[in-house]
Amino acid sequence: MGGSNQMVFLVGALIAAQGSGAVPLLIVGVLLSWAAAPGWTELVLMWPERVGGIAATCVEAFRPYTPVLANLTGVCYWWGWVPTCGFTAILSATALHEWYLPFIPVTLLAVGIVLTFLVINLLGVRAVTRVAIQSPA
């Protein structure tokens, strides 16, 4: 629900709210991402059979030092997605409210979106795959 699709909306909102001061912040963010990319690539290539992306590989990298730091890395990575998912659910619910469902409150739609994805994910990978493949592209 989050990720790169949300950046389209966040960049516009950031520039609108912060003005021209947002441009250097965005440039610094891109440069930091580029600087981190070789390290992320190396970590991922060190554990090619590990599933979970950069969070899982960071856990493996920190595990020799202390299991607490390893687990904290994974937890902090995923907790960072909590506001992103919430914001994206509200953004999607607002669009649904405005376009198709004006009689349902935005908050209720957003909670419904999150709960729908929660149930689908709890059903397992097979259910997620079924929904993803049958969804119109």
pLDDT tens for each residue of 92-137: 899 999 999 999 999 999 999 999 999 998 999 898 888 888 756 5
For residue 4, pLDDT beyond 60: no
Cα separation, 55 vs 19, in Å, equals 33
pTM higher than the cut 0.75: no
Computed over every residue of the chain, the mean pLDDT equals 83
The answer to whether the CB of 2 falls within 8 A of the CB of 88 is yes
Model confidence band, residue 41 (pLDDT cutoffs 50, 70, 90): confident
- 20, 77, 78, 105, 137 from 81: Cα distances, Å: 27, 7, 5, 24, 24
Nearest 5°: the CA angle 76, 124, 41 is 45
Average pLDDT over every residue of 9-18: 68
